[in-house]
Amino acid sequence: MDRERIKADDAGGFVLVLVLVILVILTILATTVATLAQAARDNQLQRLDEASASVDIESTRATALYLLLTQRVTFGGLTVDGQMVLSEDERAIAGPGESPFSYMPVGNEVALDGTPYRGIGRAFFAIQDDAGRLSVNWAPQILLERFLGIGSADPVPYVTLRNRLLDYQDRDELKRLNSLERKDYLDAGLPPPTNRVMLTPLELRRIPGWRERLDPADERVLRALSVQRQILVNVNTAPAEVVATLPGLDAATAARVVDIRRSQPFLSVSAFQQTSGSTLADENYVGLYPSASGTLAVWVPGRGPVRTTHWMLTPRDDGGQPWHETYELYVSAADEEPVGMARTPATPLFAEPVADRQ
């Protein structure tokens, strides 16, 4: 009897252990299935989020380019509607039956100085005029020297940087004073010169002497420099570090200029001089009106890098496109929303994605 009871107890214990093992296995399986299901769900949500961000970026980009192609530009930036303000001189010049035109700001323009705006959905965008940048091939020497921080006793003077820039772009192998050509680059283990005009300012990083002078952040280089044919500095769109290159101005004055023009763009060089409190030795350095080229940056905070497209308006290109893209870059990820209160342009075009419009 005792032996039978012991056997029954052993069998019961075995069944209990077996049940516990099965429960543990089922728990592990359930946990694994739940984890995999959650991972699949999270992955799907991430893909949907990325797709949504991509739609917002493309919609914002298309809308901003549409405005650039169809709207006129004033001293204050890119207009978004048909409003127009005429100066007294413009009223006097306008003849009967002529379509009015004016550079006078209307007050609701999209600034062309890289100011961030809210686009469609979660996207932000910023447009920057090339005239507010220093052209590496065309800007006056004194402005580039001040921008690069080159003094009279600098071990690598500007003339050396200039010679290396020219030799990097020209097609021959004749070396200017203290410059470099293909063999010098290869001997130093560097990619050889392209022997063509630069396509983007970031190519300067390939030239010894220049790369050591440039800010390590690509975004800051693109903000300050261009490769377009431009001599004057548009003080209505230039960033503070470019405004500060004008003779007689310092960083504090340049920052004040940028702050003032947000509410009142400069309409004349004399107005700029009075506001900055400085008399320029050469007024030919200063411009007031945007050029026909610039960059459009579009991004969704926390969703990858900033997509930066360089555009050129070509309305007189007979039989060609009304605009061209000369380069597109993806630079420094925008993980945070722009500092300050980025506003939405005063136009219903940014109210909904392009794909949703009827």
How do residues 76-89 score in pLDDT, each as one tens digit? 999 998 777 666 66
Confidence class of residue 350 from pLDDT cuts 50, 70 and 90? Answer: confident
Among 357, 330, 303, which Cα is nearest to 124's? 303
Lowest mean pLDDT among 150-154, 298-302, 334-338: 334-338
The whole-angstrom separation of Cα 136 and Cα 138 is 6
| pTM of the shown model | 0.83
Name the residue with higher pLDDT: 38 or 93: 38
The residue behind tokens 């952040």 is 217
Among 214, 264, 222, which Cα is nearest to 239's? 222
* Domain chopping of the chain, boundaries: 1-148+215-358, 150-212
Confidence class of residue 334 from pLDDT cuts 50, 70 and 90? Answer: low
- Phi and psi (nearest 5°) for 324? -135, 150
- Phi and psi (nearest 5°) for 329? -130, 155
Half-sphere exposure of 320 (CA within 13 A, CB side): 11
